[in-house]
Chain A
Amino acid sequence: KIESLKVTVDFLKVPLGLQKPPLKEALAAIPGKSKPLVLERHKRSDTMDNESQYSGYSYKSGHSRSSRKHRERRDRHRSKSRDGNRGDKSVTIQAPGEPLLDNESTRGDERDDNWGETTTVVTGTSEHSISHDDLTRITKDMEDSAHLDCSRHLGVALGVALALLAFLTPLAFLLLPQLLWREELEPCGTPCEGLFISVAFKLLILLLGSWALFFRRPKAFFPRVFVFRALLMVLVFLLVVSYWLFYGVRILDSRDRNYRGVVQFAVSLVDALLFVHYLAVVLLELRQLQPQFTLKAVRSADGASRFYNVGHLSIQRAAVWILENYYHDFPVYNPALLNLPKSILSKKMSGFKVYSLGEENSTNNSTGQPRAVIAAAARRRDNGHNDFYYEEAEHERRVRKRRARLVVAVEEAFTHIKRLQEEEQKNPREIMDPREAAQAIFASMARAMQKYLRTTKQQPYHTMESILQHLEFCITHDMTPKAFLERYLTAGPTIQYHKERWLAKQWTLVSEEPVTNGLKDGVVFVLKRQDFSLVVSTKKIPFFKLSEEFVDPKSHKFIMRLQSETSV
């Protein structure tokens, strides 16, 4: 099943130099806990296993061209409601209330690891209970996300209003003369009908285009204004307002009798709106497609790194892009694999302290003696790498042994199952569905699997239930044992693991520059989580000077390299 990922960016610092927020900030300043929760949670199922579908946009009308652009107004509301006393500019990217958030720190000890050695019967209740600290975490997250919803919904409403205004204005232009001074209008024949048809179709195209471009579930909530979206929104607003001004003065006041002129006026507005939509496509979608920068993302905890090519993006959009790719590119963060084994570390850490008893006049000696001690300690520490090497070699041998046992066990287990052919007649009692088949063969491989997972320190990531589910999935789709094992033999990307445990959506964007600035060569920003952070640095893709050289195919000629030896 493909699960969609949504991230919200919450912003925590007052921006410099933005417009003053309107009066509606008071609304946002009061965190209404219960009401936004209702708005958010009404799609959540009771098991809390599902992703929170942010339903705020599902009842929007299709022509909400500015559904994202209005968010900047909402963001301005939010700015004043937050505490802006941070040293550096940091903004938080936050999910709209995820129950088991931030669970990426291992709690492997609490889980039941011994399932491989005990009974093979699966109890259905154990996986759905929520422990106490899960509950406290849930309530804390609910409080955090409560602030966003008021301003967000307000922004949506504003955008919808502007879109409706823009959409209905041409229709109003056409209808008002008919309603107000119908008798005085000159009759307008075929040209008007042609213009009516064109207005209708252009509005339909505008509707479809806006639906395609703007009616999308947002994948992230950004801390700051989108400069381009704000620009477009202002442009639309100014356009509509100026058309109304002209209409009011020239047509309504003077009761213009030339209906064809009025229709042409309305058609010109629709054309202008279509061009604004084209501008929106170019600014919002096309401009960032051509790659201009290479971003290097390095995870601070274990050094896993990736390179990505992006176009002209602002820092906040680049951050979301990196996060989207992080979840399917980077191997999952496993804190158990980070530390050196204790046996080696303890040796490295134990140096001895030097206390000088007696007079202080021997300044020369006091500098020389610690130096000798430090050198001796360093020499001893240098031998620590020997232990590390042998320990690693031993660990690798152990892993390979366990892995071999696991592979053999799984292969053997899969031979016990066969898909039922239609023409075979079997006793109905013997026919199993995939779940039962999985349970039947799970017992023989459980122990080997558990031992392997424990050796590779992956056991917090795979519960018995998840393994059974995966086994059922593989059996249903006729996968080979190797395909079944692919998930366990290598540490996969984070998005592969069961979502509520490992997909935390709370990220903080830390940047020295304002996050609406575009990317430039040398920009560095950090995406922080509780346990680790992603450090992203930017490099400009170099300008390539490509020159042409023509090679005639007939010029490919060769000779033999002779090395003769003759005896005389």
Chain B
Amino acid sequence: SYFLSFSFQQRIEIHKLRQGDNLILGFSIGGGIDQDPTQNPFSEDKTDKGIYVTRVTQGGPAEVAGLQIGDKIMQVNGWDMTMVTHDQARKRLTKRNEEVVRLLVTRQSLQKAVQQSMMS
């Protein structure tokens, strides 16, 4: 017997926008292992301490790339984001020498859609 595993994950590539001296991505993050997971409105499991997208600025690079509010960021450029502090997550996203970040995100709507199609 062999194993079938579905990954409900989506890869998103964001090109940073230069604004003055900064490179911005155009979204906000919340969460982290040093934060309080029960306050997270986007997570299904209230003990989940991962990094979530809490806001996406209109017309910013993140929105253009297809990032949505409520997405959970699993990886950034290969770096794992499921067990990092809030500040470590921010640092990994805002490295000054990177112009493109490739995110691996999980979305609840995606999960539910696949589950429903599996059940029917």
> Which A residues are within 8 Å of any B CB, using their own CB?
561-568
Contact = CB atoms under 8 A, between A and B. Distances in A.
B55 interface: yes
Contacts of B86: 562, 564, 566
B47 to A, nearest CB: 14
Contact of B24 (A561, A562, A568): A568
Nearest to B36: A561
Contact of A566 (B29, B34, B36, B57): B29
Interface string B79-90: 000000010001
A567 B28 CA distance: 4
Contacts of A567: 24, 27-29, 55, 57
Contacts of B93: 568
Contacts of B74: none
Contacts of A564: 30, 32, 35, 86
B29 A565 contact: yes
Contacts of B54: 565
B39 interface: yes
B30 A568 contact: no
A564 B24 CA distance: 18
Interface in B1-45: 24-25, 27-30, 32, 34-36, 39
Interface of B: 24-25, 27-30, 32, 34-36, 39, 54-55, 57, 86, 90, 93-94
Instruction: Say what secondary structure dominates the interface of chain B.
Output: mixed
Nearest to B30: A565
B11 to A, nearest CB: 18
A560 B38 CA distance: 13
A566 B35 contact: no
Given A566-B86, A568-B93, A561 B28 contact: no
A565 B28 contact: yes
B30 A563 contact: yes
A568 B55 contact: no
Contacts, number: 38
18 contacts: A562-B34, A562-B35, A562-B36, A563-B36, A564-B30, A564-B86, A565-B29, A565-B55, A566-B29, A566-B30, A567-B27, A567-B28, A567-B29, A567-B55, A568-B24, A568-B25, A568-B93, A568-B94
A567 B25 CA distance: 8
Contacts of B94: 568
Contacts of A566: 28-30, 86, 90
A561 B39 contact: yes
Nearest to B14: A568
Instruction: Say what secondary structure dominates the interface of chain A.
Output: loop
B90 A563 contact: no
Candidate in B25, B28, B93 with the most chain A CB atoms within 10 angstroms: B28
Given A566-B86, A566-B90, 7 more contacts: A562-B36, A566-B28, A566-B30, A567-B29, A568-B25, A568-B93, A568-B94
A136 B18 CA distance: 109
B29 A568 contact: yes
A568 B34 CA distance: 18
B36 A568 contact: no
A9 to B, nearest CB: 64
> Which 6 residue pairs spanning A and B have beta carbons closest together?
A567-B28, A561-B36, A563-B39, A568-B93, A565-B30, A562-B35
Nearest to A562: B35
Contacts of A563: 30, 35-36, 39
B14 to A, nearest CB: 10
A568 B62 CA distance: 10
B45 to A, nearest CB: 17
A224 to B, nearest CB: 66
A561 B30 CA distance: 13
B34 to A, nearest CB: 6
A276 B57 CA distance: 93
Contacts of B24: 567-568
A324 to B, nearest CB: 55
A558 to B, nearest CB: 13
A235 to B, nearest CB: 71
Nearest to B89: A566
A56 B107 CA distance: 93
A147 to B, nearest CB: 77
Nearest to B38: A561
A567 B62 CA distance: 12
Contacts of B35: 562-564
A542 to B, nearest CB: 37
Nearest to B57: A567
A454 B107 CA distance: 71
Nearest to B35: A562
A299 B96 CA distance: 82
Nearest to A561: B36
Contacts of B90: 566, 568
